[in-house]
Structure 1
Amino acid sequence: MADKNTFERRRLDNIKRNGALLKNLGVNQQAQVIHDASTSEPAKKRRKVEKTNLNLPPSRTSARLASTPSKPTYNEDSLAAAVVESNAMPKSKYSKQRTSAKVTKFEEDTDTKPEMPTKDLAELQASWSSWEPVAPPPTRNEEGTFHFPSHPDFTPNKSPEEVLREGCFGGSYFRPLYSKKLGITISNDYLELPPSWTTNLNTSSYLTSPAYNPEINKFKVACGQSIEQWEEAGWINHDFDVRGWFQWYCRFFMGRRCEDDERQVSRWKKCVGKTGRWRRMLLKKYVAAGVGEVWDDGEEDQEEVSPVMHQTCHHWAFCVTQDVLDEYWRTGK
């Protein structure tokens, strides 16, 4: 018990120290700016696409059909776990109607898998919170794309705070997580996030829910596989981020740099980068459906375009914007 208490004190001291460093680097200030912009600005009206310029076929409208994936899972990396197409279910006053995606199996990550940690457990646990921010906050252009000086080819357009507040991973990403590889339960590591990222956010619903709730997600669908499944597959690098990609992104955004950065950036590029497979497939679906306006959940009388792919891209800190869609209609890229 003494060792556990000592570790917990060290962990909290590290979080406090890193918080002060984040403040000095300006990360907290930028996070507050992003938070203020996302909560105080009125929603912008979606720009209508001129079909005559883009040579679009006639728009289609359809009523929303209900169904939710039959087996909710915690999306960490992939849509390799198929979402089963089903018929419309009776509409409930508590849930939206929706059409689910067809059964789809995506290629698995072919990057070199990280090796198991060489540190002993106590040292490993301490290292998760002992890092110090060394890089300045990213800049953001008018299109909403982030730019990191150390990795110019890493250009997400959602901040970690935006992903969390808009709804992701069924509200369960930071739930207590038992690692079979390490034989321990990880919990409360969300406390290292800048306070502004979680201010007034229902933590038990959006971060630490023990049960996956697709209604929390931005696009109200479940998709992907659990962190536990990806650990079993060998995709988690325990030396750095026991929860995987999104935890890495949170820490990278806060200024940490580590030996796992190149692998994670490479994975992001293959998923939702300029030629990323999920980004490309999602944009193709827009074209196939003849949809020239960016679909967002909550828009009535608008054609739905693959909520599952949208949610997965959102988990990878990317969303289709009107500029991205317009360019794809013009160039196919």
Structure 2
Amino acid sequence: MSTLEQRRQENIKRNAILLRELELEHIKEDLQPKRPPAKKRRKLDIIQPSRSSARIASTLSRPDYNENDANVNSERLSHHRDSSKKPRAKTSEAVLSVNSAAPESRAEHPDLERIKAGWTSWYISASPPTRDSFGTYHFDSHPDFTPNKSPADIIREGCFGGSYWRPLYSKRLGTTIQDDWRELPAEWTAGLDVDQYMINPDYDPEINKHGVACGQSIEQWEENGWIAHDYDVRGWFQWYCRFWIGRRCEDDERQISRWKKCVGETGRWRRTLLKQYVQRGIRSVFDDGDDADGVAGEVSPVVSQTCLHWAYEVRQEALDRYWIERR
């Protein structure tokens, strides 16, 4: 055998031995139990909440007198849908509670005497409003403020469950306010049962023109920061009474802005009420609104009562325009 042939045979043997060794190693590996690859634990990104409840937020921040409170009555509406098909609502203590319990012992506000003096030291600086052919009132000092119900109308037709002028304990001021209704012109309350219609300690929905409960108590308004105590401790309606008489003050713009958002030309409650007239196919209303059992009384008593509290009542001219414009 030649030298070349010998080398070739040796290479074949060597390769055969190497091949056997490699094959055995491969089999050995296959016989080993295989473990699944370790899974990477997913890191959860916990997002911190960006919002907190309105109740918590209100307790942590100072109330803002410019806050939009057009939703004052919104949470009440769901409880009185289609009220014309049901008996008149009874007072709900959870809905409209008045501060009948003894007030907590709190220190009086350090500026209480100055604040109280401001309630009585104002003077008449503007003339009474004029009334146009549609029954809308106009004030020379504020042409954009156009209610169509006077304070006397609101009181006599039935409002605020007869309890608006009751003795009121203010937590903010640490004192009780009473008898301030006596500043109103005598003709507004002549022949009226004041105990029932104005200073009733209990909210009575039967007093209201539309016979339903709506809105929040003055205590709740105070908690929400909607009352500017330097001017009117009872809030919106007391402001309206004094504005009507002729007082002008720094809180006028805020109160008129609130009125616009509620029952102004594009106010929330005004549009809601007009929309319900149209949805029911009603094209006429009683201009005076005396008959609560008539057409006007059948269209959403809760919203109608809310609008009355804000010195507005649907009139024929506004309904006719809404039928055309639908806005």
- TM-score relative to the length of structure 1: 0.66
Residues 86 and 321 from structure 1, CA distance in 2 versus in 1: closer, same or farther, beyond 3 angstroms? closer
Deviation at 1:82, TM superposition (A): 2.1
Partner Cα separation in structure 2 for residue 239 and residue 318 of structure 1:
26
Matched residue, 1:322 = 316
| CA deviation profile, 1:31-65 (whole Å, cap 9, x unmatched) | xxxxxxxxxxxxxxxxxxxxxxxxxxxxxxxxxxx
| CA deviation profile, 1:200-233 (whole Å, cap 9, x unmatched) | 0110011100000111101111001111001011
| Contact kept? 2:273, 2:300, Cα under 8 Å | yes
Matches within 5 A, 1:238-249: 238-249=229-240
For residue 151 of structure 1, give the secondary structure of its aligned residue in structure 2: coil
Deviation at 1:80, TM superposition (A): 3.5
Structure 1 outlier segments of 4+, above 4 Å: 86-89, 300-303
| CA deviation profile, 1:157-197 (whole Å, cap 9, x unmatched) | 00000000000000010000000011100000000001011
1:220 and 2:211 matched: yes
Matches within 5 A, 1:144-183: 144-183=135-174
Matched residue, 2:94 = none
Q: Which residue identity lines up with residue 316 of structure 1 in the other structure?
A: W
| Contact kept? 2:167, 2:177, Cα under 8 Å | yes
| Contact kept? 1:78, 1:312, Cα under 8 Å | no
| CA deviation profile, 1:117-166 (whole Å, cap 9, x unmatched) | x9711111111011001001111111111000110000000000000000
| CA deviation profile, 1:250-269 (whole Å, cap 9, x unmatched) | 00000000000000001101
For residue 185 of structure 1, give the secondary structure of its aligned residue in structure 2: strand
Q: Which moved more, 1:119-128 or 1:154-163?
A: 119-128
Matched residue, 1:184 = 175
Among the aligned pairs, what percent are the same residue?
Answer: 59
Deviation at 1:298, TM superposition (A): 3.3
Partner Cα separation in structure 1 for residue 218 and residue 270 of structure 2:
22
Matched residue, 2:191 = 200
Partner Cα separation in structure 2 for residue 180 and residue 159 of structure 1:
30
* Alignment coverage as a number of residue pairs: 237
For residue 241 of structure 1, give the secondary structure of its aligned residue in structure 2: coil
Q: Which residue identity lines up with residue 319 of structure 1 in the other structure?
A: E
For residue 178 of structure 1, give the secondary structure of its aligned residue in structure 2: strand
Matched residue, 2:326 = 332
Matches within 5 A, 1:1-333: 78-85=72-79, 97-98=87-88, 120-294=111-285, 296=289, 297-299=291-293, 304-333=298-327
- TM-score relative to the length of structure 2: 0.67
For residue 76 of structure 2, give the secondary structure of its aligned residue in structure 1: coil
Deviation at 1:88, TM superposition (A): 10
Q: Which residue identity lines up with residue 267 of structure 1 in the other structure?
A: R
Q: Which residue identity lines up with residue 189 of structure 2 in the other structure?
A: T
**Structure 1, unpaired ranges of 5+:** 1-74, 101-117
**Structure 2, unpaired ranges of 5+:** 1-68, 91-108
| Contact kept? 1:76, 1:225, Cα under 8 Å | no
| Contact kept? 2:292, 2:298, Cα under 8 Å | no
| Contact kept? 1:175, 1:207, Cα under 8 Å | yes
For residue 134 of structure 1, give the secondary structure of its aligned residue in structure 2: coil
| Contact kept? 1:147, 1:155, Cα under 8 Å | yes
Q: Which moved more, 1:299-308 or 1:207-216?
A: 299-308
Q: Which residue identity lines up with residue 228 of structure 1 in the other structure?
A: E
Partner Cα separation in structure 2 for residue 197 and residue 303 of structure 1:
24
Partner Cα separation in structure 2 for residue 178 and residue 197 of structure 1:
25
Partner Cα separation in structure 2 for residue 87 and residue 321 of structure 1:
22
**Greater RCO, CA 8 A, separation 6+:** 1
Residues 303 and 188 from structure 1, CA distance in 2 versus in 1: closer, same or farther, beyond 3 angstroms? closer
Deviation at 1:99, TM superposition (A): 8.4
Partner Cα separation in structure 1 for residue 127 and residue 233 of structure 2:
24
Matched residue, 2:105 = none
| Contact kept? 2:163, 2:202, Cα under 8 Å | yes
| CA deviation profile, 1:73-126 (whole Å, cap 9, x unmatched) | xx998204324547999x9xxxx83589xxxxxxxxxxxxxxxxx971111111
| Contact kept? 2:70, 2:258, Cα under 8 Å | no
Matched residue, 1:55 = none
| Contact kept? 1:227, 1:244, Cα under 8 Å | yes
